[in-house]
Structure 1
Amino acid sequence: MASPTPYRDENRRRLRSALVAAARDLTVAHGWPGVTMAAVAKLAGVSRQTVYNEFTDKAGLAEALARHEIEHFVDAVSTRLHEHGGDARAAAHAAVLHTLAEAARNPLIKAVLTSARGGADELLPYLTTRSELVLAAASAAIHDWAAARLTDPDPDRLALAAESVVRLTVSHIVQPSAPAERTATALAEVFTRLLG
């Protein structure tokens, strides 16, 4: 069997992108419980079967939507980290502050948290109990920054610092306990102390 052509791969990527964008728009407008495969299909201008073929079920669509949003966040976090060179405290502060501020502004995050408070929490686990996507992507961004900007960091300390600051940041997205600036300062301190 011949492998798919680059043209076909590009069409599939565009289709997935359009379906995820439609799911995002519907989630923002109606909350995740209001999202159906049929509504996504209608908004994207494709058949419902096309949506099922691409994601299998609503859980598959939820994962694709979560991945898309996480990639967007992590790209911005990576940019903030690198803007501060090897200054770990400043890099962590900028990355955490950006993440908290963006999460507070992001209509999808608001929809996820609002839906969860109403009892429909199918997307919330991607920030909490199924947060491996967030942890892996954000930790990778921190490791990439450290490899490019720090001189011979201890791998175990770096792994601990990265995972800790990511988990704490996610916790503050879900349930903020202080203004974003103060939280970013505290988490930057935690990060630098764990790095040693």
Structure 2
Amino acid sequence: METSSSYRDSNRARLRRALIRAARDLTVEHGWESVRMLDVAKAVGVSRQTVYNEFRGRAGLAEALTLSEVRQFAQRVRGALFEHGADVRAAGYAAILLTLDEAARNPLVQAVQAGGRGGTDELLPALTTRPEIVLAEAGGVLREWTAAFLPTLPADVVTTAVDAVIRLTVSHILLPRDTPAASATALAEVFVRLLKP
């Protein structure tokens, strides 16, 4: 019985990943506004009801797509942070630059930004203002890094620094004022100052 349940869970996870990939591809190609549950279902070869059963509607699919994208970003950011150890400026710079560079090249982020300018795209708020998605995923990585390399910092200092640097980085993705390298330099300096107890 346990094997059957494990097999079912494995199949469901594969289906979920395939649906999210299809939604991502369709969003990049046509914009989120044009993506219908039926299109996602057809791309994977399942019924529209299957997509609804998995995500409960477009909002659930948007959230799953956002979470998938943010988790991938967060893992790359983790690598950049840990590569520089306790050097706050270098780690912050590398992580922020990676984020800004990837956001500038990421076709999903570009599609979301283009769609969001019209004010009706559900993905833009999910990518930028949902604290349980962006702040939790990216914040978890930053807190893991500070615990490993700056373990004596007070929790309130870490919380403030993590929240601020994430929000500032997101604002530079949406409204870039300078090159990614220049923005990363400025934000890394802010991060250094915020992490002082």
Give the TM-score normalised by the residue count of structure 1: 0.96
**SS of the counterpart of 1:176?**
coil
Tell me by how many angstroms 1:118 deviates.
2.9
- Opposite residue 192 of structure 2, the aligned amino acid is T
Whether the 8 Å CA contact 1:24–1:108 is kept in 2: the answer is yes
Runs of 4+ aligned residues of structure 1 deviating over 6 Å after TM superposition are none
Aligned AA for 1:94? A
Tell me which residue corresponds to 2:53.
53
Bigger shift: 88-97 or 127-136? 127-136
State how 1:1-196 maps to structure 2 within 5 Å: 5-196=5-196
1:89, 1:189 within 8 Å by CA — same for their partners in 2? Answer: yes
Superposed CA offset, 1:55-75 (max 9, x none) = 110000000000000000000
Inter-partner Cα distance in structure 2 for 1:16 and 1:56: 12
**In the aligned structure 2, how far is the partner of 1:172 from the partner of 1:133?**
18
Deviations along 1:2-56, whole A, 9 cap, x unmatched?
8971111111100000000000000000000110000000001111110011011
Q: Among all aligned residue pairs of Structure 1 and Structure 2, give the percentage whose two residues are the same amino acid.
A: 57
Superposition RMSD in Å = 1.5
> Which whole-Å deviations, capped at 9, do the CAs of 1:109-142 have from their partners, x for residues lacking one?
0000001113332111013332431011111101
SS of the residue aligned with 1:120? coil
Residue identity opposite 1:189 in structure 2: E
Aligned pair count? 196
Distance 2:19 2:132 in 1: 23
Return the letter of the residue paired with 1:60. G
**Contact preservation (8 Å) 2:92, 2:188:** yes
Say if 1:10 and 1:193 are closer, same or farther in 2 by CA, change over 3 A.
Answer: same
Q: Give the secondary-structure state (helix, strand or coil) at the position aligned to 2:128.
A: coil
Answer whether contact 1:127 1:170 (CA < 8 A) is retained.
no
**Any conservation in 2 of the 1:97–1:180 contact (CA below 8 Å)?**
yes
